[in-house]
Chains A and B, each alone.
Chain A
Amino acid sequence: MRETVLIVDDHPSFRASARRMLEADGYDVVGELDNGDGVVAAVEKLNPEIVLLDVHLPDIDGFEVTRRLLDANGATPQIVLISSHDFTDLDEAVGASGARGFVAKSELSAEAISLLIR
């Protein structure tokens, strides 16, 4: 059974690359979203096991989206935060966020994700 993923990032070419990479490595990308506000509803609807969530979104940031997802009723997906910033800029905030972990966009790979969610 392929694991299902929702990609949340406001940059379309990055979403396209991430989708290609995940699908090539056996994940099932069930949806893409370019903002933070619609994530809770999209998760309720698509029920993904993993949410690949950009920290810098145009409306609300990835930490706030994480908080909303953890507060929401129902099954909570595993959240992997991603950003083009270094982890050193964000480590405290990531630690306090309740997300499963963080992967820098420059190091994003299926292997890095699978290491986090196991």
Chain B
Amino acid sequence: MTAPRRTLIGLAGLAFLMGIAAFVVMLNGEHNVHRGAFAGLFLATGWGFVGVGLWVWKQRSAGNIGPLMVAVGLSGLLKGLAFSNDSVVFAIASVGEVLIYAVLIQLLLSFPSGRLETRLDRLLVTIAYVNTTVVQLGVFLFTAPAKADPSNPLLIENSEAAGVLSAAQLDISIALLGAVVAVLYRRWRSGTPGRARVFAPIVAVGGLTFLLLMAALVVEQAGLSSDISDAQTLALFTSIACLPFAFLVGLLRSRFSEADAISELLAQLGEGGGRGALRDALADALGDPTLELAYWVPDQDAYVDAAGQPVRVDPAPAGKVSTIIEHEGERIAAIVHSSGLAEERELVQTAGAAAALTLRNERLDAELRAKVAELRASRSRIVQAGYEQRRRLERDLHDGAQQRLMALGIDLRMVKERIEHDPQGAAELLDESLHELNEATAELRELARGIHPAVLTNRGLHAALKGLASRSPVPVELLQTPADRLPPSVESAVYFVVAEALTNAARYSRAHTVTVGVVRDNGHVDVEVSDDGVGGADADQGSGLRGLQDRVAALDGRLELTSPQGLGTILRATIPCA
């Protein structure tokens, strides 16, 4: 948080004046039994909180902690003014005299990040503010002042309802303080050892303060002796006066523990080490043995681990939180850590920044491994696809042309037997045989085209794509094709991209027309096949597109499917072609 210098100086001036005013008012307050002690304690509390708060604020660290401490200090000094003999000052300060406890609760619950992280925290703080403002005003408007106090200019009428409201306010306060002490205790116990050290002084003094306040409220509720009450009030104010220094110690410890963690991390990074050393160093520094590193691979638009395997970062796995690490504006990695470290995001960020260079090197390593893993997978898919293609070919040959040729063989043997004694029957059989022969020839031609279309070799891409278009059940508009011949492997890949897209359009898209364009531009061939069908195609479904992806990737190209529901399908391939 940044604060203009003038704001800080203005607040310091305000606190100084309010402090002097409160000190004078309290020394002269006729309804104050321990004038000297109270005046000193209030001044120490107010100036202590404001002073430490302004220092923290000026350091521009710890979020709202600085402003909140200043607010506690100022509301403490306001409380002091409630001892005024002047009825107007008394009235204003009395309405605001318990506000300090709400701000204090907010401060304690938002330490050290300066934010209220949980829903429970926000609920407790909201109750505290309502209880110390709305309810407090309600009580004051309908309560006649005690005998020793100045008159209440805001009094509407002295009502019994105010007594009930006041009792409710006390009950709410006691319950609220109990809850806050419990939350603080739990937070202290469940944090990492470093966090517990930071929390210790605040939990100790803050917890003691709230316990004393609870005791004071219980005494007030029970209407016990004013001697006990006075002693408690003195102890309470002393405890509050110590609080800003507890915060100071906590904040300094926090800074030192962060510095320790980072210098330890840097020392470990300096020692080097193999794969996993960086993860171990970060896990040690942040006190989270479950910490994992995920490296950003821009090509794959995904995170991978050190071995190059995909890692889930957003959303993080249950009980984990991801912190993204950037270096010079470039995303490098994510630290996937225990959600217990969520309140120490800044420390995680700092540790990540300290390790950024090493992270960047390891990222390159992980990126390479990811590429190798992807290449291995695609190689194995290509081998598998080759095997499946041979199986399919064998099956197609066996079930198709081979069966027809077998039947043809039987028929021709019969023709041979009949030709002398039944020439008419033999001629009819020959007609059947010719039909079978034509069918077998057509099936063989189709099969051969699936392996490699001869027209592509003989007459080039344009003729081959025109052939595909003329056989497509969905009308095809062939926009353009390169005038020159492309390398055979590129022509073949382009042909099969278009063939697969047309097959899919005919099978699934319910399109009226398909548009095909092939452009050679700037060392690339760009193929685009788009239809006006129903969309919703999924690249992960079916082996056809995956096979194409491998075929295109083998040429260092990229295949991209865009198929929003109801808005048609576009299949694009970009293949390098010098």
Contact = CB atoms under 8 A, between A and B. Distances in A.
A100 interface: no
Given A13-B436, A56-B398, A84-B398, A106 B414 contact: no
Contact of A16 (B407, B409, B413, B418): B407
B411 A17 contact: yes
A17 B398 contact: no
Contacts of A67: none
B399 A11 contact: yes
B403 A13 contact: yes
A13 B404 contact: yes
Interface in A45-79: 56
Contacts of B418: 24
Nearest to B399: A11
A81 interface: no
A56 B400 CA distance: 13
Main DSSP-derived SS at the B contact region: helix
Contacts of A13: 403-404, 407, 436, 439
Interface in A1-44: 10-11, 13-14, 16-18, 20-21, 24
Given A24-B414, A109-B413, A17 B407 contact: yes
Contact of B414 (A10, A11, A20, A105): A20
A13 B410 CA distance: 11
B402 interface: yes
Contacts of B413: 21, 109
Contacts of B427: none
A108 interface: yes
B440 to A, nearest CB: 9
Contacts of A16: 407
A84 B407 contact: no
A24 to B, nearest CB: 6
A106 B399 contact: no
Interface residues of B, number: 18
B266 to A, nearest CB: 69
B407 A14 contact: yes
B409 A106 contact: yes
A14 B406 contact: yes
A21 B410 contact: yes
A14 B403 contact: yes
A109 B406 CA distance: 12
A16 B428 CA distance: 14
Interface in B411-429: 411, 413-414, 418, 429
A21 to B, nearest CB: 5
Contacts of A109: 410, 413
Contacts of B402: 84
Contacts of B429: 20
Nearest to B408: A17
A84 B414 contact: no
Contacts of A14: 403-404, 406-407, 410
A106 B406 contact: yes
A105 B411 contact: no
A105 B411 CA distance: 12
B418 to A, nearest CB: 8
Nearest to A108: B410
A109 B415 CA distance: 13
A98 B404 CA distance: 29
A105 B403 CA distance: 9
A84 B407 CA distance: 10
A14 B407 CA distance: 5
Nearest to B409: A106
Nearest to B397: A84
A18 B411 CA distance: 8
A95 to B, nearest CB: 23
A20 B418 CA distance: 12
B15 to A, nearest CB: 91
Contact of A18 (B404, B408, B410, B439): B410
A84 B403 contact: yes
A111 to B, nearest CB: 10
Contacts of B404: 11, 13-14
Contacts of A56: 398
A14 B398 CA distance: 12
Given A14-B406, A21-B413, 16 more contacts: A10-B399, A11-B407, A13-B407, A13-B439, A14-B407, A14-B410, A16-B407, A20-B429, A21-B410, A24-B418, A84-B403, A84-B406, A105-B403, A105-B406, A105-B409, A108-B410
Closest 8 CB pairs of A and B: A17-B407, A11-B403, A105-B406, A17-B410, A14-B407, A13-B407, A14-B403, A21-B410
7 contacts: A11-B407, A17-B407, A17-B436, A21-B411, A56-B398, A84-B402, A108-B406
